[in-house]
């Protein structure tokens, strides 16, 4: 579908929103006229007139709030041509090959994404300021050829007028959703007032010794909910039509990417992005924000820079992820086609012999990557995050975060022990309970599934043993950590490992074995007590 036909479709859908509003207003006016013409009782007519006005207000507000939502942009680092000459040269060169006007701004972001926007005027009839958003994590994980493919895809949206026509579709979506929200808010307020009224009435009945009626607000706000359903029905039609167009635009942009950057670079970039996205989520949760609860932040430049270390250390895992493309079911409300289908279409294109182009790392397009990564932190991180203490290295971050986590340990076993003893939960108190044969009675205070709560004897012990094992191990680690006897080993390739104090024979203490002995069917705390005692003298 050409840009002209897409523009006409977008305008028709937007006009449909206004037509729906006009029809609803006409219906309300018709009801009011009928009340007047047939001389309805004044009390009933007055109530219905008020209802008509209250229903008309959200409709009118939705129709006449004409401003298209502004592109407020994503948080990021604005880079000029003087800052990043190679990157700007690449973007301009690709824009020329795609056959479109280059963006006026480039903004580096901290997520695995690339996007383009255009502040078009007069509903997209006139072009506007263009902006390219480029995630630095993409540059850390992609080759230069793959990044060029991503950039060609985004610039393809410009050449296909996708960003200009977005002004119409975004406006329509915003206005439909805004109108639905107005009706839902009014329905909620009406239901709330009705609930308050019924609760007061019930309280009075109870005070007089009468049976209070059950609270029922099912009918309150029903007219508002009905209006919301009408607009929701139109919203489904609008979104299905516009998002189907969005999916076609993605296919068209993929073809532009393959034509300019090459088939293999485009397909491999599409394969890479889901793997990078999953790896980045893992990195942010397990590394970058590891020390946040303890008030710690990685060294300057490493909040985003550390992601590159993780990618290098876990290259084999990423290689496996690239071969397993997401196969989520498609929905008419998806804005993008499934990655697997996009890759299939690109790989089905004829070979173009461009397999050896620009294999260097895309991060090399930046003039000073380390400096840019540090500057990106200042642009993206919140003021609260920037106020956290910077550690000297990742090992210090791990030590500080694990020490804080163990010091503030609050496991299910801690809470169960506090309820059981009505006292502060401590490891010595727990060991005493185990020695007295009361461990399984204590375990009944743990949060239990229905199946576990119904079990008895050995079956019950097997249900609760994993929770006991984890909680008791952490309590022992907390005790050792409080004495400064633990050593944590940081790794990019695998999870952090903890090293315990050495036993008398020079071997590392066996905490797992000691904990298993303490929670066995016939518990024995001697190995765990010996480990803790030997650590005091080591």
Whole-number pLDDT of residue 321: 84
Listed range (19-28, 58-67, 145-154, 371-380) with the worst mean pLDDT: 58-67
Mean pLDDT calculated for residue range 211-215 = 73
Listed range (1-15, 384-398, 489-503) with the worst mean pLDDT: 1-15
Whole-number pLDDT of residue 5: 57
Query: Would you say residue 510 has pLDDT above 90?
Result: no
452 is written with which tokens? 């576990």
- Element (H or E) spanning 73, and its range? none
Query: Would you say residue 13 has pLDDT above 50?
Result: yes
Query: Would you say residue 34 has pLDDT above 90?
Result: no
215 is written with which tokens? 């609270």
Whole-number pLDDT of residue 141: 95
Out of 117-131, 194-208, 237-251, 469-483, give the one with best mean pLDDT.
469-483
Query: Would you say residue 418 has pLDDT above 50?
Result: yes
| Non-local CB neighbours of 168 within 8 Å, separated by 6+ positions | 7, 10, 11, 14, 123, 124
Query: Would you say residue 162 has pLDDT above 60?
Result: no
Mean pLDDT calculated for residue range 328-334 = 63
Query: Would you say residue 411 has pLDDT above 70?
Result: yes
**DSSP3 helix / strand / coil % (the chain, rounded to 5):** 65, 5, 30
The pLDDT confidence band at residue 30, using thresholds 50, 70 and 90, is confident
Rounded CA-CA distance 362/344 in Å is: 24
The residue among 50 and 531 whose pLDDT is bigger is 531
Mean pLDDT calculated for residue range 181-187 = 77
Mean pLDDT calculated for residue range 19-39 = 69
Whole-number pLDDT of residue 312: 94
Whole-number pLDDT of residue 331: 64
Listed range (113-122, 450-459, 469-478) with the worst mean pLDDT: 113-122
Out of 14-18, 23-27, 48-52, 378-382, give the one with best mean pLDDT.
378-382
Mean pLDDT calculated for residue range 79-84 = 95
Report yes or no: 110 and 284 within 8 Å, Cβ to Cβ.
no
Whole-number pLDDT of residue 35: 61
Whole-number pLDDT of residue 43: 65
**Inter-CA distances, 526 with 199, 209, 413, 534, Å:** 60, 63, 20, 12
Query: Would you say residue 415 has pLDDT above 80?
Result: yes
Listed range (192-196, 421-425, 501-505) with the worst mean pLDDT: 501-505
Mean pLDDT calculated for residue range 340-369 = 89
pLDDT tens, residue by residue, 42-67: 666 666 666 666 666 666 665 555 44
The pLDDT confidence band at residue 264, using thresholds 50, 70 and 90, is very high
Rounded CA-CA distance 425/409 in Å is: 11
From 444, 446, 411, 405, select the one nearest 426 (Cα to Cα).
Answer: 411
The pLDDT confidence band at residue 442, using thresholds 50, 70 and 90, is very high
From 427, 466, 474, 475, select the one nearest 446 (Cα to Cα).
Answer: 466
Mean pLDDT calculated for residue range 417-438 = 92
| Non-local CB neighbours of 66 within 8 Å, separated by 6+ positions | none
Mean pLDDT calculated for residue range 374-398 = 95
Whole-number pLDDT of residue 248: 78
Whole-number pLDDT of residue 68: 46
Whole-number pLDDT of residue 500: 87
Query: Would you say residue 371 has pLDDT above 90?
Result: yes
Whole-number pLDDT of residue 167: 55
Average model confidence (pLDDT) across the chain: 83
Q: Helix (H, G, I), strand (E, B), or coil: what is residue 265?
A: helix
Is 492 exposed, middle or buried (CB count within 10 Å of its CB: 0-12, 13-18, 19+)? middle
SS (H, E, C) 160-172: CCHHHHHHHHHHH
Rounded CA-CA distance 333/144 in Å is: 33
The residue among 158 and 250 whose pLDDT is bigger is 250
């Amino acid at each position: 579908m050409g840009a002209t036909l897409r523009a006409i479709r977008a305008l028709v859908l937007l006009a449909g929103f206004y037509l729906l509003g006009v029809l609803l207003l006409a219906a309300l006016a018709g009801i009011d006229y009928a009340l007047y013409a047939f001389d309805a009782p004044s009390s009933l007519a007055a109530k219905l007139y008020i209802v008509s006005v209250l229903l008309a207000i959200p409709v009118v507000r939705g129709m006449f709030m004409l401003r298209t939502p502004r592109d407020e942009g994503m948080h990021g680092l604005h880079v000029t041509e003087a800052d990043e000459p190679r990157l700007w040269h690449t973007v301009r060169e690709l824009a020329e090959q795609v056959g479109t006007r280059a963006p006026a701004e480039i903004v580096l972001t901290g997520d695995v994404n690339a996007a383009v926007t255009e502040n078009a005027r007069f509903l997209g009839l006139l072009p506007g300021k263009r902006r390219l958003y480029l995630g630095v994590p993409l540059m850390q994980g992609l080759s230069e050829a793959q990044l060029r493919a991503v950039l060609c895809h985004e610039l393809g949206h410009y050449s296909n007028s996708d960003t200009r026509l977005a002004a119409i579709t975004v406006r329509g979506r915003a206005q439909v959703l805004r109108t639905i929200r107005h009706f839902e808010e009014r329905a909620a307020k009406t239901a709330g007032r009705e609930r308050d009224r019924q609760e007061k009435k019930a309280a009075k009945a109870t005070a007089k010794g009468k049976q209070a009626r059950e609270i029922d607000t099912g009918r309150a706000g029903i007219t508002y909910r009905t209006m919301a359903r009408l607009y929701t029905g139109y919203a489904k039609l609008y979104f299905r039509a516009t998002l189907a167009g969005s999916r076609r635009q993605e296919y068209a942009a993929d073809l532009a990417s393959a034509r300019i950057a090459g088939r293999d670079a485009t397909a491999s970039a599409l394969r890479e992005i889901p793997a990078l996205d999953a790896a980045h989520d893992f990195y942010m949760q397990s590394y970058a924000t590891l020390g946040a609860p303890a008030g710690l932040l990685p060294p300057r430049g490493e909040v985003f820079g550390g992601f590159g270390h993780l990618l290098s250390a876990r290259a084999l895992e990423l290689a496996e992820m690239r071969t397993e493309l997401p196969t989520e079911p498609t929905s008419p409300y998806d804005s993008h086609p499934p990655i697997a289908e996009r890759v299939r279409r690109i790989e089905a294109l004829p070979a173009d012999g461009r397999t050896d182009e620009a294999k260097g790392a895309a991060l090399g397009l930046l003039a000073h990557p380390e400096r840019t990564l540090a500057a990106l932190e200042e642009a993206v991180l919140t003021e609260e995050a920037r106020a956290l203490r910077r550690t000297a290295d990742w090992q210090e971050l791990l030590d500080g975060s694990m020490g804080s986590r163990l010091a503030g340990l609050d496991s299910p076993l801690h809470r169960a022990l506090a309820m059981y003893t009505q006292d502060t939960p401590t490891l010595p108190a727990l060991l005493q309970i185990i020695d007295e044969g009361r461990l399984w009675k204590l375990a009944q205070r743990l949060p239990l599934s229905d199946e576990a709560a119904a079990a008895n004897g050995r079956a019950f012990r097997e249900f609760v043993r994993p929770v006991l094992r984890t909680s008791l191990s952490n309590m022992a680690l907390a005790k050792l950590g409080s004495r400064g006897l633990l050593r944590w080993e940081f790794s990019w390739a695998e999870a952090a490992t903890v090293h315990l104090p050495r036993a008398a024979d020079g071997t590392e203490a066996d905490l797992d074995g000691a904990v298993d002995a303490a929670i066995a069917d016939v518990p024995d705390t001697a190995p765990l007590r010996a480990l803790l005692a030997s650590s005091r003298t080591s």
